[in-house]
Amino acid sequence: MSKNTTETALTDAELVTRFQNGDRSAYEALVDRHSEKAYQIAYGVLGNREDAEEVAQDVFIRIMRALTHFRGDAEFTTWMYRIAINLARNKYRWNKSRGVPQSFSLDAPIEGGDNDSGNPGFDVPSPRLGPDGQAVIGELERNVMVELEKLPDIYREALVMRNMEELDYNQIADLLGCKLGTIKSRIARAREELRRRLNL
């Protein structure tokens, strides 16, 4: 059995122990396993791909520094999620303090061509969700991300965390420090706002 195969079969706790014993490849296995989640959490808070990637990178550097002291009192993922949220929120506050708009698309042209008119900037396809063809659905899904970035931050972060599948409402409430009802409300409002903006 190859080393990589072995590592994919190991639990997070086992990988952590291996890293603590000097096996650096175990840490790379943790990065393989969880970097996407760290990115998604950061994106949920920041609504900005480049900042989210930067935060995801910082998350794993911070974890590497602290992992020797990690005793496994909490799940590795829970710990990682908290670090990701804290770093993303720090980044968010920093952006806010310098007056950077919190939600904008980095896919937009760097200079000129500002399309931030408040309108979606695309032709919303038919609101009918019947079998209108994959092209329409595909376009809708792309538009979802455009509008997601414009959502109020508290709605976006809750909806993004929910759509990571593994996180249920209780976990999201715990990570964000909110009540369960608040999370339920934010996710519903996020969906409704997106539905309204996309004319679905």
Partner 1 sequence: MSEKPPNPSPCPDLESLSAWFDGEEEQEVAAGHVEACPECNRKVDAYGVIRKGVRQGLAPANDLIHRIKAACGREHASRLSRGWAPHPFSPLRLAWAAGLVLVAGGLSLLLSRPPRGAQALPVAAGAAALPSAMPVNVVTPAAPKPAALAAAPAGDSGVARPVAAGDLRLVSLGAPPAAAAAVPQPLPARIRHVWVVGDLAAARGIVGRTLPGQPLASTRNGSLRGEVELRDADVVRLVEALQAAGFSLVSPQAPQPGAGQQVAVQGRPVAYAFELVPAAGK
Which residues contact partner 1 (rule: CB under 8 A)? 19-22, 24, 27-28, 31-32, 35-36, 39-40, 43, 49, 52-54, 56-57, 60-61, 64-65, 67-68, 94-95, 97-101, 104, 106, 108-111, 114, 129, 137, 140-145, 148, 159-160, 162-164, 168-169, 184-185, 187-189, 191-192, 194-195, 198, 200
9 or 141: CB nearest partner 1: 141
- The burial of 14, by beta-carbon neighbours within 10 Å (0-12 exposed, 13-18 middle, 19 or more buried), is given as middle
Least separation, in Å, of the C-beta of 78 and partner 1?
A: 19
Angle in degrees, CA 7, 63, 56, rounded to 5: 90
User: Does residue 105 come out as left (phi exceeding 0), alpha (psi in the -120 to 50 range) or beta?
Assistant: beta
61 or 74: CB nearest partner 1: 61
6 or 95: CB nearest partner 1: 95
| Per-residue exposure over 74-107, b if at least 16 CB sit within 10 Å of its own CB, e if not | eebbebbbebbbebbbebbeeeeeeeeebeebee
112 in Cβ contact with 68 (< 8 Å): no
Least separation, in Å, of the C-beta of 178 and partner 1?
A: 14
Token couple for 8: 């994919």
27 or 79: CB nearest partner 1: 27
Least separation, in Å, of the C-beta of 133 and partner 1?
A: 13
